Every structure is written in C-alpha cells, then in structure tokens.
Chains A and B, each alone.
Chain A
C-alpha cells in the first residue's frame, strides 16, 4: 500500500474537521465554566432529599455569601459550592496560554534536537496544534448541543493531549529515523510509508488500551470529571490520527518542496 500517495486527502480531512470546528467556535462560541466567567455554581441537598443546582454569573462575594446563608437557613446540606470572583478568569486565561505556548515550544525544541532537524520539530508541533484545534472545535459543538463547559479541567486535558500527541508522533518519527539509517536508496516517501506500516499496530493498540481506560472512567468515574474524560478521548483519537496522517505526510511534503527548490538552483 502506498499510503503517502494520498497525503493531500489526509490533510484535506483534517482541514475539513478543523474548519467545521472553527465554524462551531464562531457560530456558538464556548460555554465557559465558572472558572473563566466568574460566578457561583452550587449544589445543595434539601432536607426533603431534593437536589438543587444553582448557577450564577458575575456575583460579588457578598451576594454569593447571601445565597449560601439562605440555604443554610433552610437546613440544606452543601454538596459543593464554587465561587469565582471576576478577576480570576482573565488571569487563568493568561496563565493557560502561557503554559500552552511554553509546552509547545519546549516540545518543538526537544523533537528538533532529538531528530537533529527542525522539520521534525515543526511537523510534530503542527500535528499537536491540529489536535488542539480539533479539541477546541469539538467543545464548541459539544457545548452548544450537550452543555459541555470549558473550564479548568479542560485546560489540563488540552495540555495532556499536547504531550500525548507528541508521544505518538515521536514513535513514528523514531522509526523513520531508524529506517533512514539502515536503508539506502529508497525514496523518502517510501521510507515514511514503511515506517508508518511498521508502527501502525503499536499505535492502534496503545490508543485502544488508553481508550479502554478512559471509557471506564467515563462510565464509572463520576459526574465531575465526565467532560474532562471526553476531552481526553477526543484528543487521543485525534492525536493518533494526526501522528500518522499529519505529521508524517508533512515531513514528506517538506522534503519534496526542498528537493524542488534544490533542483531549481
């Protein structure tokens, strides 16, 4: 099979997915959680056994405490009470962006250093950016249709996916490097093609075990981490896809373009 012959198709599929994600983001935006918007999310169990969930946006400390006092007066049990002041959200966004950028740059440098070529670093980073966009887009869509919120845990999931995606990509790249060393004369797309086939079962099996673990977490792990697990699932599936169908084809394209430039000279 000549997988690399269809490289434009893979990039097209990714493009379509990312564009529909961006459409979702523009059309509906994100449903930001209380961590970003500020406000109160509280859950009370009333003496009658009835559970009540409260959500307020943009509340001052005094207003938040008033609500709490009200429920306390009714002898309700506090199951959880989250109050976030208006100043916290913007700070969190800044710190998150910093963390994302710092991680991405460090990973790019590490891959570039390890494979002694910037093209490996950049291809791997583009694949992880691809996964971030897929994750962001899917949460705009999940948010609109199922009420999934973008909160603190989502941010954690996003950073984890960054490393997971690179994990997969590195395994593929590693094989390419090894095959390049051992075989001479084979065209580069052929080497990439072979490397992908050789690591394919591993990539699928590893993703499958991780997906198994995440599915049990999704079913049995409780309400509060449900969307966190969904975010990880989306990221892992996208990460497996992007390592095989983005990072490797990008390497081939890069090689072709620089070969063309060389022949022009």
Chain B
C-alpha cells in the first residue's frame, strides 16, 4: 500500500514538473475558475544578448572613512541611470577587492551599449536650484522655472541621517564646505519660505522649504520621512557630494543573433546528449537501464521546472553545468547497478537490491559532497571578496549544484521505488 503512494507521488511530481517545463505554461479552466500561468526561463546575457559592464569607482579623492558611503551613492546613481534605458531586469552590483571598488552592471537586451557606457560613466551632478517666477503676459498666471544656483555637489562635505532633536523623527543633516556654507547662507537668505529643490542628474530628489537664512555651514532637512526615505536621500546627497569618478574597465556584449544561435545549438546538444546517455544505459544494463532512463527523464523535467521556478539565470556555462550533472545523475545509477550485479550472486534479487542501494549510498554521498564543495566556491553565494562574484561561472556552479541535489532525488528515491516495483513483479525471473 505504501508503495502505491510513493509511486503516485513520483508520478505527480513528474507531471507537475512537465507542465511547468513545457513552454505553454498552465491553462486551467474548471467552471468559472480559470488559472493561467506561463513560466519563462530566465536567460543570461550570453543567451539573451546584452552587455555586462564593469566600472572602477576611483576613490582616491574620497577620505578613507567615507568610502563605504561613497560606493553606495555611486551604486544608487548608476541604478537610476540604468533604469532610464528601459531594459528588463537590469542588475547593479558592487564588489571590493584589494582596495579597488567595482560596480558590475548587467543590461540584458540593451541595443546601444556605447550610449549606455557613456551615460553611466558620467560623474553624478548635484545642484541646488531656485524657483524663479516668470511674469507671464498681462492677466495670465505667472509660470515658474528652475534656475540652477552656483551651489553644487562640490560644496557639500557629506550628509548623514540624524534624528530631529525635537520631533525625534529621522531627518537628514548636511555639512557644507566653508565656501559652500557661505553660498548656502546667501541662497537661503533670498529664498525664505520658498522651496529650494535639490537636483541630482536632472531629477529633483528633494525640495525642502527654507525657514530662515541658514549660516554656519550646516543644515538639516526635516519632514515626515521614514527611516528608509531619509537614508535614501542621504545616499543621494553623498553621491553628489563625494568626488568619485567612474571608469569602464571591462565590457562584454553579446549580440542578440549570437545568443539565439547559442540557444538552438544548446537545445540540439542537450537532446542528442541525453538520448545518447539513455541509449548507452539501455545497452549496458538492459531493463535496469530503462529504469535509469525513466529517472533521467524525471531528472531533466524537474531541473527545467526548478530553473523556471527559482528562477536560475541560464547561461551557456550553466547549460554545460546541467549536462555535467546528467553525467552525475547517471553515475548514481551505474554505481548501484554494478553493485547489484555483485550482490545478486550472493543473495536473493530483492535483498540484493536493498543492499546495493545501502552500500552505494556511501560512495554517492561522499563523492557528491566533494563536488558540492567546488560548486560552492564557484558560486560564491556569500559574496566573499577574495572570490569572484556574478558572471557566467556562477551560473555554471548553480546548475551543477542543483543538478547534484536533483540527481540524489531521482537516482535514489525515484529509481529505487521503480526498481522495487519491477523486482517484486518479477521476483522469480532473472533480471
């Protein structure tokens, strides 16, 4: 009875995975209830086409203790610029290695990379602007316009989040340079009770109202900020204040046509490769091999389904990682079958099967953990600074690690239960 449940479970998992893995997704309609969900594979830059850009943030002019803040600012600025390109799911990451600060930008499907590198590489421009009313023609309402002042990011020393001493709410304090403080006093003096918009890269990030002329070189922006909003604004002010120049140090661009070719090549290779392995298993192990082939099929559909669900960004090396894990998935079966050949000479067929699974498990566990260790180093999930982050290698390691995990399930659980059924039915016959 228990066996029936286990087999049903395997069939259910396979069916669900197959539906998710198929390109058309789920279309359910039962009476009034309808459910539509399409699962897409997330493709990396080398398959979908696009650019990976690595910038070096030059921090030599930034004091040591402000560098952490500065890199956050740079990242924020780049993120907002990147969003202007309208590409789907851009990513911006920072990485530090031996005192060098890097910003890694990935732009899937970007058309004009040259334009993108130019725009991203610009140093952030922060300026305080005044609102000046332009008297319209007689009778019409006067319009107003923004006029940049001579107070810019260069006049800011730094900014940080503080708590207002009276209200206790998060606010942002700004420290000006000596010269900046003088300019600020003059500007606030002529804008009392008017808004003084702060513009970063042509976008207003805040427009505080001036209460009084502010002298002394420091100011505070208060209002009903949440802590996150206050932090965000402070980061943006710092981005404009700290003199970080950004230089392109590496670029990888893959055209859409090359990506499409790679996809079709990979599908061909995948289908032929798995078929060859399936054929080999049948030739080498006969009926047992067919059970392994069923396991291999389950392995392939679960892998695809998980790539879509997690989702895993599939890259060319990622596909190679998957193909390698096919080898590992079959290896658990080979280990068990070879053991089975030996054991069935010594005991009954069904006992031999159980013993083989038990004995082979030690080898499978020890060997796969060794592979997982390497996959872990390659994927670097904790973003250790002395190792690589992002990039195609991570895709490779992820698919390899996931493949090992799934292969344990299909190699041990699926094959084992299928074999038990097969062997119980043919107890007296020679396998």
Contact = CB atoms under 8 A, between A and B. Distances in A.
Interface of A: 43, 45, 61, 64-65, 68-69, 72, 77-85, 87-88, 91-92, 94-95, 98-99, 102-103, 106-107, 110-111, 114, 152-153, 155-156, 159-160, 162-164, 166-168, 170-171, 174-175, 178, 198-199, 201-202, 205-206, 208-210, 212-214, 216-217, 219-222, 224-225, 228-229, 232
Chain A contact residues, majority secondary structure: helix
A208 B266 CA distance: 20
Interface string B398-412: 001000000000000
A93 to B, nearest CB: 12
A224 B378 contact: no
The secondary structure that dominates the B interface is helix
Interface stretch (B4-12, B142-150, B218-226, B320-328): B320-328
B330 A81 contact: no
A103 B323 CA distance: 22
Nearest to A202: B338
B114 to A, nearest CB: 6
Interface in B325-363: 326-328, 330-331, 334-335, 338, 342, 359, 362-363
A213 B386 contact: no
Q: Which 3 A-B pairs have the closest CB atoms?
A: A210-B327, A85-B249, A163-B374
17 contacts: A69-B114, A78-B113, A83-B248, A107-B374, A111-B370, A163-B375, A166-B371, A167-B368, A167-B370, A202-B335, A205-B334, A209-B330, A212-B273, A213-B276, A213-B324, A220-B269, A221-B320
A35 to B, nearest CB: 9
Contacts of B88: none
B324 A210 contact: yes
A103 to B, nearest CB: 5
A170 B370 contact: yes
Interface of B: 46, 54, 56, 97-98, 100, 113-114, 117, 247-255, 257-258, 261-262, 265-266, 268-269, 272-274, 276-277, 280-281, 284, 316-317, 319-320, 323-324, 326-328, 330-331, 334-335, 338, 342, 359, 362-363, 366-371, 373-375, 377-378, 386-388, 391-393, 396, 400
A157 to B, nearest CB: 9
A174 B366 CA distance: 8
Contacts of A82: 251-253
Nearest to B248: A61
With a 10 A CB-CB cut-off, give which of A162, A171, A229 has the most chain B CB atoms.
Answer: A171
A232 B324 contact: yes
Nearest to A115: B366
Contacts of B54: 88
Contacts of B331: 167, 206, 209-210
A80 B273 contact: no
Contact of A156 (B274, B276, B317, B328): B317
A219 B271 CA distance: 13
A216 B316 CA distance: 15
Contacts of A232: 320, 324
A201 B369 contact: no
Chain A CB within 10 Å — which of B46, B277, B374, B396 has the most?
B374
B266 to A, nearest CB: 6
B113 A81 contact: yes
A69 to B, nearest CB: 7
Given A114-B366, A156-B317, A213-B277, A83 B250 contact: yes
Contact of B367 (A87, A94, A166, A214): A166
Nearest to B327: A210
Given A107-B370, A209-B281, A213-B273, A178 B335 contact: no
Contacts, number: 204
Given A83-B251, A224-B316, A99 B378 contact: yes
Contact of A216 (B272, B334, B369): B272
Given A208-B280, A210-B327, A217-B269, A110 B370 contact: yes
Contact of B265 (A72, A166, A220): A220
A81 B366 contact: no
Given A102-B387, A217-B269, 4 more contacts: A83-B252, A212-B276, A213-B324, A222-B261
A31 B317 CA distance: 21
A219 B266 CA distance: 10
Contacts of B334: 202, 205-206, 209
Contacts of B253: 78, 80-82
A91 B269 contact: no
A87 B100 contact: yes
Nearest to B49: A80
A220 to B, nearest CB: 4
Contacts of A91: 97-98, 100
B387 to A, nearest CB: 6
Contacts of A152: 391-393
B341 to A, nearest CB: 8
B277 A212 contact: yes
B376 to A, nearest CB: 9
Contacts of B368: 167
A216 B255 contact: no
Nearest to A204: B334
